[in-house]
Chains A and B, each alone.
Chain A
Amino acid sequence: DIQMTQSPSTLSASVGDRVTITCRASQSIGDWLAWYQHKPGKAPKLLIYKASTLESGVPSRFSGSGSGTEFTLTISRLQPDDFATYYCQQYDDLPGFGGGTKVEIK
């Protein structure tokens, strides 16, 4: 199975900050990589798919990049609604998630 590793596991930031989360795959997955936002008590939400394609309705401050084994999620200017946990997920093979990155208020 393909292993997904996210870093950092926790990130403290302020409103307006630029935030970057990294995801690494244990083998090449092309661009079959998605990012999700998850808030407590709510259903996870798809943000980005095919590594860099923004899901409909997702604000443009979110962006994704990368291919092969290295991927990043960037939030250009953090907003109050963005404090949440973010997960990467590969769907090249048996789907699997990274461990998550909790974005906290600094």
Chain B
Amino acid sequence: VQLVESGGGLAQPGGSLRLSCSASGFTFSSSGMHWVRQAPGKGLEYLSGISGNEGSILYADSVKGRFTISRDNSKNILYLQMSSLRPEDTAVYYCVKDGWYTYGLLGHWGQGTLVTVSS
């Protein structure tokens, strides 16, 4: 299993950014996928998840209405579209694959991509 995040960087408050996660080494279309973040000096925070067939999409209250998760099963890529960004969205963002075919069990993690929201 390999998960490689990209798209992080510096964004302005109120701005947008799209994160991507390229997946390999497993059947992507059969796996639930998630985004989790860790702000500087803080703990892990679950953000969003999407099932393999996109039948289930989850959002934490902190990002609902601002972030959109999506996936392209033909390209094995997971996305997180982030808009109306706030300084408190500054964090390392992790792409995560379900473990043991269990939706919500965070079995395999990417190395993360840093998002900084600042003017």
Contact = CB atoms under 8 A, between A and B. Distances in A.
Contacts of A49: 99-100, 102, 105, 107
Interface residues of B, number: 24
A97 B58 contact: no
A95 B60 CA distance: 9
Interface of A: 1, 32, 34, 36, 38, 42-46, 49, 55, 85, 87, 89, 91, 94-100
Contact of B111 (A43, A85, A98, A99): A43
Contact of A97 (B43, B103, B109, B112): B43
A45 B110 CA distance: 10
Interface of B: 34, 36, 43-46, 49, 58, 60-61, 94, 99-100, 102-112
A89 B106 CA distance: 9
A104 to B, nearest CB: 15
B36 to A, nearest CB: 8
Contacts of B43: 85, 87, 97-100
A43 B94 contact: yes
Q: Determine which residue in B49, B102, B106, B108 has the highest number of CB atoms from chain A within 10 A of its CB, and name it.
A: B106
Contact of B105 (A1, A34, A97): A34
**3 closest cross-chain pairs (CB), A and B:** A91-B104, A43-B109, A100-B43
